[in-house]
Chains A and B, each alone.
Chain A
Amino acid sequence: MSGFVPTYRRRPSPLHAARAGVATAFCAALCLVAVVHDSPLVLGAALGGTVAAAAAAGVASELGRAARLVVPLALLLVAVNALTSREGETLLIRGGELLGWRLDVTLEAVAYGAVAALRVTVLMMALALFTAVVDPDDTLRLFRRVSYRSALTAALATRLVPVLARDAARMGEAARCRPVPPARAGAARAALRSALDRSVDVAAALELRGYAGARRPAVDRRPWSRHDVRVALAAGVLALAAVLAAAAGVSEFDAYPELALSVGAGEIALAAALVALPLVPFTGASARLGVARAH
């Protein structure tokens, strides 16, 4: 499972350099687009913007790992909706009857499922981008003032995923070293016990670091860097554009009873903005990291 989960690694990119709150807002703005818009054109543009930002931040391969999970899930969504929906007027396939349920497939049901799948894809890719570019320790710091224990649990889970994956690999090797391989159930039980033991050890370490007596942390008042400003600006404009366009009725899409998709200047402008805005933090000389400005 860990092969599908993107992991954070510090890289020289404006998105990595931005403070956790701002980078989180950037990813949240991409999620917002997927929540408030239905048009496949707009959702496709949001997906393009997300992938472009990931490529610019050097984490395209991390999104690729997430895609190995997301794409089959999206295809499943399309298939399930196509087979279970009874709406739509354009019949593509006349199926038989199974347990009293007609298995006709309509164009509208396929399109509706595809848009839902696209929405899920945008949301999961934006979350994958968040996982790959925001330091989990900074995320913990960000949320600990709200709910310290929940935030710490999330941060610990992030830390423990690679540790448990290594433990599992080791146990797999040990099983192959036994003269008679162990039964699956026994091996699974041993793996579970090992994970629990590991959790107990980590809990002990946390206690020794003063976890039980943890106080509400002080506010971190760091000055804003140029990357913070640019990423925040991109996130703000992205969110504003998404909300205003939705309020103005841009990007309307209806699947039933017949497909109705509006593609006008508004939709095209919004789609262009959704691809371009996520790249704003990466453009211009000031986006380069570690390069002094020429005076």
Chain B
Amino acid sequence: MHIETGSDAVLRAERFSYSYPGAAPPALADVSLSIASGELCVVCGASGSGKSTLVRAACGLVPHFHGGEASGELTVGGLDVRDHGPSDLAAVCGTLLQDPEAQVVMSGVRAEIALPLEHRGEPAAAVARGVEEVALALGVGDLLDRRAETLSGGELQRVALAAALVTRPRLLLLDEPTSQLDPVAADELVSLLRRLNEDWGTAVLIAEHRLERCLPAVDRVIALADGRVACDGTPDEFLAWASREGGTGEALLPPVARLFSLAGLTPLPSSVKGARSALASARIEPPPEAAPPPDRPPARRFPLARHRPRRPPAALAFHGVWHELRDGPAILRGVDLAVAPGERVALMGRNGAGKSTLLRHARGLLAPTRGEVERAGEVALLLQSPGDYLIHDDCLEEAGARGLASAGLDGRETTDPRDLSGGERQRLALEVVLGGGENHAAAGRLAPAAVCLDEPTRGMDPARKRALACRLDRLAAEGAAVVVATHDTGFAAELADRVVLMGQGVVIADGPAAEVLGGGWHFATDVARVLGGAGGALTPEHGARLLERELVA
């Protein structure tokens, strides 16, 4: 095995195509690109565009692990991926996949990081040195003696990153590494990647559809559509292309760029800082007290939950709900919250704030140690892993024809639910908990009084998020209270009338979305950050209308 070390291109693809076994359309078609040493690139595209397949091809899992047919040429460090499997390519590239839980194979952190070096037969001293160095460089030194099962998702992902980097690879491949992380852990990971790219010159290729986080940090953006390279250029070139392209291209724009695009402002910014500075230099500064954009209803005011008089017709109400562990702290501390029929509520807060526990109480999976949960009817609950709800061999059996139609999965009746994309699984699982789209009256059951979802947008592209928001809007219009626990401020802004912020098991803020998400440091949308909360504008659409009004004025 000869590994090229002098060449500038660490990854080179020449008309590379690949099809999964039994799949007719190729996942990658005629892909030609090259990544130079020290470059930091992001691969973006809608779900199913081929991002993950490109990463899996570069690390050798495709075709060696997944099977299928490959043609053309793809070399990594001079090794042709059709001739060399993942173990050979591990000498050149480190790889980090989506699910942190599935990537840590050993029980202890130190052993996990040491494993790739031990596989290479490195002497014990070299292994110990490699582990210490990479752990200190990536800030996981204090985790070295921890057990894998005690780590959070973000910590597991950093440990997996350390294991991928311990052999000092020339190329680091990452497949949606932030999709399972909360925003803080995701930001930390992106900063870490930037630092190791700058300090060590490691080439980095990230497959990601949440571009707002990566775009300010990357040198180059490769957009894929239907397995083909649709755009390959600098972030500015990509933004100009996406704005011109419309449709799928426009859907890839991060919120701040979309704000400018909708308002007709150019050039499109790649970051909040860039957007603010562009507005300042154009002297467009909507005052914080600006009136809401024309189509946005004036904000309804909700006082803090404990001061609010009880509203009798609540679809779901928590009265002083406590959840205290037998041998641990209290997860919920006297939560008072009422959600009216048709109301759309975003439940936000950092990890461990009690959001998921509250939703479990809503459904009755947990019983309060004190207090009471009042339900006007059935509560449908979709937890974080939609795959857990899918137990049948085909989609039709899971949700019925009506359910498939509601999920937008017509024509996929015979598909195995495990072959669906993350977003499709989410929609199908939602229909499963809603009763398979059945006619509730005919079935002798009432429609759910409340629909609760826990982190439904993880790993979803913007188009799928919009589709989910529309489905939830329909449910709310039919009279169901919708409660969504999420870290995704953009989704919360698009969906919710009201945002409830939790911290340490209590409700710490409860008010209209514009108020809670417009003025926070952490819980604020990018658009609100750019506009300073002016007019309560949270989404690019509302922000753009506000800017248009300013431009006219």
Contact = CB atoms under 8 A, between A and B. Distances in A.
A170 B124 CA distance: 40
Interface string B95-133: 101010111111110110001101111111000000000
B497 interface: no
B141 interface: no
Contacts of B108: 135-137
A285 B79 CA distance: 58
A141 B111 CA distance: 9
A159 B107 CA distance: 5
A209 B391 contact: no
A162 B59 contact: no
A179 B124 CA distance: 56
B255 interface: no
Contacts of B106: 137, 140, 155, 159
A189 B418 CA distance: 13
A159 B156 CA distance: 14
Nearest to A10: B145
B147 interface: yes
A125 B164 CA distance: 38
A174 B102 contact: no
A178 B148 CA distance: 31
Interface residues of A, number: 56
A239 B390 CA distance: 54
A208 B86 contact: yes
Contact of A135 (B105, B107, B388, B434): B107
Nearest to B148: A159
B433 A208 contact: no
Interface residues of B, number: 64
A209 B88 contact: no
A186 B87 contact: no
Contacts of A138: 111
B418 A209 contact: no
Contact of B383 (A173, A186, A218): A173
Nearest to A162: B149
A71 interface: no
A177 B107 contact: no
Nearest to A201: B102
Q: Dominant SS at the A interface?
A: helix
A149 interface: no
B124 A221 contact: yes
Contacts of B111: 135, 137-138, 140-141
Given A170-B388, A209-B119, A218-B123, A177 B381 contact: yes
Contact of A177 (B60, B87, B380): B380
Contacts of A212: 85-87
B65 A207 contact: yes
B239 interface: no
Contact of B59 (A135, A208, A222): A208
Contact of B121 (A136, A170, A198, A218): A218
A263 interface: no
B488 interface: no
A213 B124 contact: no
A210 interface: yes
Contact of B110 (A136, A137, A174, A187): A137
A208 B365 contact: no
A202 interface: yes
A68 interface: no
Nearest to B127: A218
A220 interface: yes
A173 B103 contact: no
Interface string A176-198: 11110010001101100110011
Contacts of A197: 418
Nearest to B429: A174
Contacts of B101: 163
Contact of A208 (B95, B145, B435): B95
A146 to B, nearest CB: 15
B432 interface: yes
Contacts of A215: 119-121
A102 interface: no
Contacts of A163: 101, 149
8 contacts: A8-B107, A8-B147, A135-B108, A163-B149, A173-B383, A176-B365, A179-B434, A222-B124
Nearest 8 pairs of A and B residues by beta carbon: A137-B111, A215-B121, A201-B102, A190-B391, A212-B87, A174-B388, A213-B87, A210-B119
Given A10-B147, A173-B388, 12 more contacts: A138-B111, A140-B106, A162-B149, A163-B149, A175-B391, A186-B392, A190-B390, A198-B102, A201-B99, A203-B65, A212-B87, A222-B124
